[in-house]
Amino acid sequence: MTKAPHIVVVGSGPIGATYAREILEAHPTATVTMLELGPQLTEVPGQSVKNIHDDEKRAKARAMSQGPQADEESRAKLGLPYLQEGTLTARQGTHLVDFGGPGSGHAKSFPMASIATNVGGQGAHWTCAVPRPEFSEKINFISEEDWEQSISRAEVLLRANKTPFKKSPIGAAIRAALTEEFKDISTETVHPYFLPVSAEEQSNGTMIWGGTDFVFGPLIEKGNPLAARFTLKSLTMARKILFNGNKAIGVLMEDAVTGEQKELHADKVVIAADAVRTPQLLWASGVRPKALGHYLTEHPVCFSAIALDGEKLKKYATEEDYVAEKELAKLSPGDPVSGVTRVPFIEPQHPYSAQIMYVTKPPFPLPDDSPLKDHKYGFAMAGWGGRKFPRYEDAVTFDDNELDYRGFPNMTIDYELTEREIKEMEDVKVFMHRAADALGAFVPGMGMPRLMAPGTSLHYMGTHRIGPVDDGTSVCDDTSKVWGYENLFTGGNGTIPTANCVNPTLTSVAIAVRGAHKLIEELGN
């Protein structure tokens, strides 16, 4: 071991940032080099684009993240040929795996599979929701004490705000109405409440939304001693992991624009590229355990939009409250959300996690003759996420004989909801109708409850899952170290082994904290 150990981290999202920060804060001499295929979108690395209030600049930042579906100008800067105009994506700032151009992946059964390619990863585009997993979502082979320490640290890194939008009168009204409506499924400790988010609330009630910059913290502060030991290389891909036998010794890195390649040696390697590209890089590097890419899960999502009814909510909100809410919303023109509520996963009576976001304006275009065009009470965007139980058959697999647009073994995603999962997502509509009746009524047409296409959640899990034993059903041990290899760790939503309907980022950061601490332990002093 070198006196000053060097760690390479592939991927600049919240998970890669967690590894980098935990290592550098704990080890006095270690250095970290982070590789990111995509561009830097904001002056401060990894900031959420929701904090960009200028519509044109925010749209441009998102377009730069869309890889093969970016605008033509961005593709040229990213070293990409003309492939296909950015069209349908699961969310602005992402690009489809199966985008339809040369080198496209294959995902007919998972059509909305999308990823972001930029400094900060999905942490630049996410909704910032950070609720804790509960009941069977929790990982049963990690002790309660260990898990509490890890997830509490994750909340610190993400600056979890457990009571956001406290100044929102309509947010409070929605929360009160849903608490009353769902008291029959609640427990003393788990019940409808604020949706925890990664954000810093300002004195006027507006939000600075969390991005990967929150996790980077001191690593990107000018003049901070930790920043001197951290190097972030954007527009740089890891082409493959380098090995000496079963010991990872670095990566072959490649300039994404020029194609120039160079070996970058390291004492430890962390792959945190996302739930599809992490297994892709492992596969391309010859790391091919049986479970790699398999046990793919996401939470199926039923979406609805509710037009609030002032009469139904008069117990909780006055006419003046709605006027005040609209004034509050004007302070954040780049982000329409001004109140967040959660109906949590409560097993067995409510096997879902619901996210209700209040907006003063219609959440999607309405017909010109719609009576809701200027609806003064606003709207609740309500999404219910369900469970997908891990199956080997649900998988991302790779073909050495067909290359994708970046020259990696191309991926195919196979995915199917079972009868149990289909039934649960049909049954969820009972709860959705209850919420709508308590708050107002569904917006006709697009606002009616509907099961979204697979991949819509963007929360892809399980593809390099952790496990307690090396029995072929996991890729990594419980500290995220790849079975059978030295110095090689993974991180991200792909490590989550459970059927999880909660937003996964907090869980993944907690798992990464454990991985980083194991890595630090192996480094010694």
Per-residue pLDDT tens over the stretch 391-432: 999 999 999 999 999 999 999 999 999 999 999 999 999 999
Q: Specify whether the backbone of 353 is left (phi greater than 0), alpha (psi in -120 to 50) or beta.
A: beta
Average pLDDT, the chain: 94
Beta bridge partners of 264: 251
Residue 58 DSSP class: H
Is 464 known to be catalytic? no
pLDDT digits (tens, 9 = 90+) for 306-353: 999 999 999 999 999 999 998 888 877 667 788 899 999 999 999 999
Task: Write down the pLDDT at residue 33.
Answer: 98
CA separation (Å) from 14 to 21, 124, 311, 446, 467?
10, 9, 43, 33, 22
For residues 48 and 101, which has the higher predicted lDDT (pLDDT)? Answer: 48
pLDDT at 525: 67
Q: How far apart are CA 456 and CA 9, in angstroms?
A: 27
Say whether pLDDT at 264 is over 90.
yes
Q: Which of 6, 375, 459, 517 is catalytic?
A: 459
Cis peptide before 348 (omega within 30 of 0): yes
Tell whether the model's pLDDT for residue 87 goes beyond 50.
no
84 within 8 A of 390, measured Cβ to Cβ: no
Specify the residue for token string 């380098």.
242
pTM of the model: 0.96
CA–CA distance, 257 with 77 (Å, rounded to integer): 7
Calculate the CA dihedral of residues 258, 263, 266, 268 and round it to 10 degrees: 70
Rounded mean pLDDT, 156-176: 95
Q: CB burial class (10 A; 0-12, 13-18, 19+) of residue 364?
A: exposed
- Structure-model confidence comparison of residues 188 and 46, the more confident one: 46
pLDDT over threshold 50, residue 84: no
The helix (run of H) or strand (run of E) holding residue 239 is: strand 236-244
Distance CA 251, CA 247 (A): 12
The two three-digit tokens of residue 53, written as one number: 């209030």
pLDDT at position 90: 53
CA angle centred on 179, ends 174 and 181, rounded to 5° = 95
Written as one string, the DSSP assignment of 324-339 is: HHHHHHHT-TT--EEE
Least reliable range by pLDDT among 171-175, 186-190, 310-314, 468-472: 186-190
Backbone angles phi, psi at 229, to 5 degrees: -105, 10
Residue type at position 134: E
Q: Averaged over 445-471, what is the pLDDT? A: 96
